[in-house]
Each structure stands twice: as C-alpha cells, then as structure tokens.
Amino acid sequence: MKGENMISLCVVGGGRWGENHIRTLYDMGNLVGIVDVNLERLESLKSIYTGIKGFSSLEEAISGGFDGYVIATPAKTHVELGRKLLEKGKNVLIEKPLALSSKDSETLIRMSEQYGGKLMVGHQLLFHPAIIKIKELIDKGVIGKIRYISTSRLNLGTVRQKEDVIWSFAPHDISLINYLTEQLPIETKVLGSSFLQPDILDMANVELTYPENVKAFITVSWLYPIKEQKIIIVGDKAMISFDDCSQEKSIFLHKKRIEMKGSCPESKNEGIEKIDYVYSQPLKNELEYFIQLISNSERMEYGRNGHEVIKLLEKITRDIKS
C-alpha cells in the first residue's frame, strides 16, 4: 500500500546502501519498484519486500512510470543512469557523490533544467536532526563567531578500487561544513597516504579555509580500527561537540573559551550543557524531503550543492597530484 502522499519511488541498485533506501521507503509506503542487474539479488529482495515490482534494467523501470527514482549504485555509474532518467524528465535522487567530475555533474544539472525533472543529491548529514539543531545554535549566536570546525570520519570500511577515501568519505563532511558556514572554501590543503593500492588514498587530512579566515579540518580513513564520526565546532564564545557513533548521539555545548587579557590568554570554563533534540532517522528525513520536492510544482534547484562538492573534490585531487 502506498504512502498517504501517493508518490511512487523506484530504487536503482540493491546493494548494501541501496537496501537501506529500499527498507526505509518500504516502511514509508512509497517503495513500488527495485532495479538490480543481479537477478538472484533481485529475487531475494522481492521475497523480503513483498508486492514490489522488480526490474533487471533501468529501461524496464522507466517504462513503469514512477514519480521518482533513487540511484544507489557505485559512483562510476551515476552519470550514465542519471542521464537516462533525466532525459526522460524523471525526478532523481542520486546518492553522493553526484558524479566523479564537475563536467559530469554540470551535465546532470543542465539536463534537469532542460527536461524538467527534479535533481537532488543524497547528502544525508544535512537531514540529521542533530546537525539541524547545531545549525540553529550557530545561527542564534550561541557559540559566537566560528573559528574552526574539525570532523573525523574513520572506519575499517569498504575499500574502493575506483575512488579514494576522499571521494568516498569526505563529501559528507564538505557538504556539512558548507551548510554550517553558509560559505564555499577559498583555499585547500591536503595530506594523504596510499597503503593498499597505488594512487588510491587510504587516509587523508584536508584543511579548508573559508572567508573571514574560518578554518575546517577533515580527517578521513577507511584503514582504521575504530569507527568514528565526530564534529567539533569552536567559536569565540563557546564550543560544540557531537559524536554520531555514540549510543546517545548527544550534542554537548562546552561553555569554554580563551580570552585575551592584554597579551595574556585566560581560560574561561563555565561547564558543559547537554542540548536536547528530537531524534529522527536521517535517511527517512532525506527521502521525505525528496518526496516533498517532487510534490512541489515550483522549479527548485537542489543539485547545485552536490556540484559544488564535486568541484572542491577535484581541486583537492589536483592538490594531491601537485
């Protein structure tokens, strides 16, 4: 049975992350179709998510006339699949990264504008209720002027063979920091190392400089013994910390700062406050947003932020090579 909003969605790709979309949309009542070229996998998914149509090719799914399509396939396939859907005027949510080059991401945006289909990029962190709450605190001036943001995304994770850890992990943090600062970086620096495969970074440290000398430091690695997803925001009045891997997923406001008394730095510590917020599933929030985007008759552009992330990833890659 379809959801109350009656928007039908088809998920392209039934892998690990694709099934997260499938499961969430099935529970929401909006999953109507699944595409997977692996027939054994497709039959397995159909047996789990009963009543759902299965397709072995995108062309078959396009003929199904769904309201929107979610592309959750390897990044190297995003452009080809996205083009096929957008040239038919279809609404498309593409998992990050939008593409593997800014030329390709720009092509997808132009096709969305030309043929009228809505295009959205799956930057899930932007729909995390904790991140939204942190943005509210920043906008209210609770921590004052941002001095720097530090993020870490570490794990003994899936090692890619076509994209490095920056392209795989860092899009989350870049989109997040751009959102929190409401700016685009003006300077980049990067250090990284390859241990497993030549020319494919397994870990990296990225430094971004934003206007007004706001700094961001991103650490990513898929060769790490502990799963870690943390963000620290340091302001001139207070600081915020959030650990997405913690069981409580709590936001902490650290009422700490350093004040200059003449030429002497003086530490101020007024304690730590736990910030309450209502938790909800980020992926569900993202998919609900996509449904609202489809339902809205106005022309809205939501692919551009993903394009800006791709351009920055390309610049970082050039920095590495140079």
Lowest-confidence range among 75-84, 282-291, 299-308?
299-308
Angle at 100 between CA 220 and CA 32, to 5 degrees: 95
DSSP assignment letter at 160: P
> CB–CB of 284/28 below 8 Å?
yes
Work out the end-to-end distance of the chain between its first and last CA atoms, rounded to an integer number of angstroms.
55
Model confidence at 305, in pLDDT bands (50, 70, 90)?
A: confident
Angle at 301 between CA 295 and CA 302, to 5 degrees: 85
Model confidence at 5, in pLDDT bands (50, 70, 90)?
A: low
Q: At what angle do helices 78-86 and 102-115 cross, to 10 degrees?
A: 10
Closest to 242 in 3D by CA, of 138, 90, 121, 155: 138
Structure tokens at 174: 């870049």
Phi, psi of 12 (to 5 degrees): -100, 110
- Give me the sheet containing 119-122, strands edge to edge: 53-55, 31-35, 9-12, 68-71, 91-95, 119-122
- Written in H, E and C, the secondary structure of 284-322 is HHHHHHHHHHHHCCCCCCECHHHHHHHHHHHHHHHHHHC
Q: For residue 4, what pLDDT is reported?
A: 47
Q: Please state, in angstroms and rounded to a whole number, the distance separating the CA atoms of residues 289 and 283.
A: 10
Q: 210-260, pLDDT tens digit by residue?
A: 999 999 999 999 999 999 999 999 999 999 999 999 999 999 999 999 888
Please name the amino acid found at residue 22.
Answer: I
> CB–CB of 178/309 below 8 Å?
yes
Q: 149-165, pLDDT tens digit by residue?
A: 999 999 998 888 888 99
Q: 9-65, pLDDT tens digit by residue?
A: 999 999 999 999 999 999 999 999 999 999 999 999 999 999 999 999 999 999 999
What percentage of the chain reaches a pLDDT higher than 70?
Answer: 97
What percentage of the chain reaches a pLDDT higher than 90?
Answer: 85
Q: For residue 322, what pLDDT is reported?
A: 75
pTM attached to this predicted model = 0.91
3-state helix, strand, coil split of the chain in percent (to 5) is 40, 30, 35
Q: For residue 157, what pLDDT is reported?
A: 81
Report, as an integer, the average pLDDT of 70-74: 96
Q: Please state, in angstroms and rounded to a whole number, the distance separating the CA atoms of residues 33 and 66.
A: 8
In 127-224 the beta strands, taken as DSSP E runs, fall at 146-154, 187-193, 203-210, 214-221
Q: 113-147, pLDDT tens digit by residue?
A: 999 999 999 999 999 999 999 999 999 999 999 99
Model confidence at 280, in pLDDT bands (50, 70, 90)?
A: very high
Q: For residue 119, what pLDDT is reported?
A: 95
Model confidence at 1, in pLDDT bands (50, 70, 90)?
A: very low
Q: Please state, in angstroms and rounded to a whole number, the distance separating the CA atoms of residues 319 and 322.
A: 5
